[in-house]
């Protein structure tokens, strides 16, 4: 069994496809708020690492967190949000979503 890292061209193809999907999803928001700079980039690997790398020159980093179930604590965040909050040089907004 091979990991995706064993096939760099697969990883590049998947990243390009997911970046295009993200671009399409964000198009209405870009049109509504043209003054806001948005960089769409899909990356394979550890999310916190990629977010922190991308945040080096950011004015604001916005990350999502799932809305908790009734059993979970409403204030609990995941390990990715936790890492970004503690290590990001820019302000971070954690936005709950379904």
Dist CA 26 CA 31 (whole Å): 9
- The single-letter DSSP state of residue 76 is -
* Contact by Cβ (8 Å): 63, 94: yes
Dist CA 23 CA 11 (whole Å): 18
Place of tokens 């990991």: 3
pLDDT in tens for each of the 98 residues of the chain? 445 555 668 888 899 999 999 999 999 999 999 998 888 888 888 999 999 998 888 899 988 887 766 565 666 788 899 999 999 999 999 988 77
Whole-prediction pTM value?
A: 0.67
Place of tokens 């302000």: 91
For the chain, the structural domain boundaries read 1-43, 46-98
What distances in angstroms separate CA 14 from CA 6, 51, 55, one per listed residue? 14, 18, 22
Dist CA 41 CA 15 (whole Å): 8
* Contact by Cβ (8 Å): 38, 32: no
């Amino acid at each position: 069994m091979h990991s995706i890292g064993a096939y760099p061209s697969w990883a590049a193809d998947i990243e390009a496809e997911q970046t295009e999907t993200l671009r399409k999803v964000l198009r209405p928001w870009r049109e509504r708020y043209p003054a806001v700079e948005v960089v769409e980039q899909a990356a394979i690997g550890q999310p916190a690492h990629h977010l922190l790398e991308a945040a080096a020159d950011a004015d604001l980093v916005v990350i999502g967190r799932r809305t908790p179930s009734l059993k979970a604590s409403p204030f609990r965040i995941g390990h990715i949000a936790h890492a970004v909050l503690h290590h990001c040089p820019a302000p971070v907004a954690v936005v709950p979503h379904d």
